[in-house]
Amino acid sequence: MKAKSENSSTGTQLIDRVYWLTRLRWVAILGVVATILTVPRFFGIPLAISPLFRVAALLAIYNGLFAWLIPFLQSRQMYRAIKALANLQIFLDLTCLALLVHFSGGVENPFYFYFIFHIIIAGILLSRRETFILASYAVLIFLGIIVGEQQGLLRHYGVLGTSAAFLHESSMYVLGVSFVFSSTLYIAAYLTTSISNRLQERERSLTRANEMLAEKDRIKSEYVLRVTHDLKEDLAAIHTCIEPVQKGFTGSLNEEQTNLLSRAKVRSKQLIVYVDALLEITKLKLTEKVEMHSFSVADLIREISDSIEPLAHHEHKGFEVLMDLKVTTMKGVRVYIQEALLNILKNSIKYTPEGGRITLEVQNDASLLQIKVTDTGIGIPAEDLPKIFTEFYRAKNAKALYKKGTGLGLSIAKKIVEMHQGKIGIESRPGEGTCVRLEIPLAL
């Protein structure tokens, strides 16, 4: 399974790079066409326009074919075929570059060093062996052209009007260029593949380290889940035992005993709330795949409103819902979306002074469900905002106002939103209130 995952990851990277090479080739084709059209006109250098245009057309034809073929192979996860295609692309690129150089001056054209770019690309995309094979092909085809022109076996398309017009006839110059060109290409192949191999090995090492960390985090989460579940059962039992004693079912109590039991009941209730939150966030961490179904957004918001409105009224705070009538249904885990919104709204109520106001706004923006929770509460200091979605983190002013709190509400909401491939953000200023924005795709 691990090997399959690594192969899939390597295949995905190769596909991305092959796509990049295809896009880069369109730029090169435009550059070739622009050069053919401008050099004779603005620089007075005659070029073999018809042969050069035919090479540019060949580039465009096979690049278009590759652009169509790559998604086809990708959809079928044919990674070996895609790698073979990458080899073929660079092979054809080297051939076309050799033809372009031949039809525009041969050894007299300094752009023959563009072969280096293709060898660098090969070193990034392919193995060392494949890169050296392509480098050897580039050397052979280029030397074949310049030696063939020098010996009169191939027609020389000279760059007339330049000082380099007869360099192709000089055996010493051709020999020197051949040596420098060949050694440069092989050095480029060696350096590029060495760097690329080291980077790939480091990437594989980091991937393995991340997988080990993820596995350790999963084991830790499973342990926390088991321990927290046991704690919840024991706390619930303690909480259940306190109530009948407090009500006098086991005998009358004096004032001090009643007071102590009341405090114990409050503390046990706080612990149960904390443990429930810890259980929830641990379950979310361990959840790899969830079943998502379509549900009515209007019905969900109505239920949330029915739950929050009495709480806000009891604490003498206003609560308003602004619902876009265009919002109908969405696909997701209904109970999780409900929990995320309840956590945010309860936070707003908790940290909004009496007489303040909380607004829940729901809109439909194309394919996204836009939710905004705004309050006129105490706000969040700027230095606390970057950490506000971190587990167990509470802003300084929040801790000063309420010493007790789990610091898990917003963290749970963030994980739920991300589970639905959405985004969550927060804007706030101390003393001016807070606005939490959620964007969740309506269909997954």
Give the DSSP H or E segment for 434.
strand 433-441
Taking 3-state DSSP, the helix, strand and coil percentages for the chain, each rounded to the nearest 5, stand at: 70, 10, 20
- Can you give the pLDDT at residue 344? 92
Q: Name the strand (E) or helix (H) holding 345.
A: helix 334-350
Q: Is pLDDT at 8 greater than 60 in this prediction?
A: no
| Sign of the Cα pseudo-torsion (340, 345, 347, 350, in order) | negative
- 275, two tokens: 């443990």
Residue 284 pLDDT > 70: no
The CA angle 158-161-166, to the nearest 5 degrees, is 45
Q: Identify the band that residue 283 occupies on the pLDDT scale cut at 50, 70 and 90.
A: low
Q: 254, 383 in Cβ contact below 8 A?
A: no
Instruction: Specify the pLDDT at position 221.
Output: 66
- Region 28-36 average pLDDT: 90
Query: Quick one: tokens of 283?
Result: 């379950």
Is pLDDT at 1 greater than 50 in this prediction? no
Residues 209-219 pLDDT 10s: 888 877 777 77
Is 322 within 8 Å of 361 (Cβ atoms)?
yes
Residues 426-436 pLDDT 10s: 999 998 999 99
Q: Edge to edge, what strands does the sheet with 433-441 contain?
A: 318-323, 357-365, 368-375, 433-441, 423-429
- Greater confidence (392 vs 137) lies with 137
What is the 8-class DSSP label of residue 45? -
pLDDT above 60 for 6 = no
Report whether pLDDT(130) > 60: yes
Q: What are the backbone dihedrals phi and psi of residue 360, each rounded to the nearest 5 degrees, phi first?
A: -110, 115
Residue 228 vs residue 171, higher pLDDT: 171
Q: What is the mean pLDDT of residues 21-29?
A: 89
How does residue 408 score in pLDDT terms, banded at 50, 70 and 90? confident
CATH class name, domain 293-441? alpha beta
Instruction: Give me the pLDDT at residue 3, please.
Output: 42
Interval 336-344 mean pLDDT: 88
pLDDT-wise least confident of 80-89, 230-239, 312-321: 230-239
Mean pLDDT of 272-289: 67
- pLDDT for the residue numbered 290: 66
Q: Are strands 293-296 and 329-332 parallel, antiparallel or unpaired?
A: antiparallel
Q: Is the pLDDT of residue 270 over 90?
A: no
* pLDDT digits 0-9 by tens, 351-366: 999 999 999 999 887 7
Instruction: State percent of the chain over pLDDT 70.
Output: 89
Amino acid residing at 180:
V
Over residues 65-117, the pLDDT tens digits come to 988 888 887 777 777 888 888 889 899 999 999 999 999 888 888 888 889 99
Reported as a pLDDT band with limits 50, 70 and 90, residue 281 is low
| Residue whose C-alpha is closest to residue 343's, from 384, 378, 304 | 304
As a whole number, the mean pLDDT across the chain is 84
Q: How far apart are CA 288 and CA 313, in angstroms?
A: 39
Burial, 347: exposed, middle or buried (Cβ in 10 Å; 0-12, 13-18, 19+)? buried
Query: What tokens appear for 139 in the block?
Result: 């050397």
Average pLDDT over residues 264-277: 73
**Is residue 276 within a helix (H) or strand (E), and if so which, with residue range?**
helix 255-286
- Name the residue ranges covered by the structural domains of the chain: 2-213, 221-286, 293-441
CA atoms within a 13 Å half-sphere pointing along the CA-CB vector of 312: 27
Amino acid found at 426: I
Classify residue 432 as left (phi > 0), alpha (psi -120 to 50) or beta.
alpha
Task: Provide φ and ψ at 312, rounded to 5°.
Answer: -65, -45
Contact call for residues 375 and 346 (beta carbons, < 8 A): no
Residue 4 in this model has a pLDDT that exceeds 50: no
Checking if the pLDDT of 135 tops 90, the result is yes
Least confident of 6-20, 29-43, 103-117: 6-20
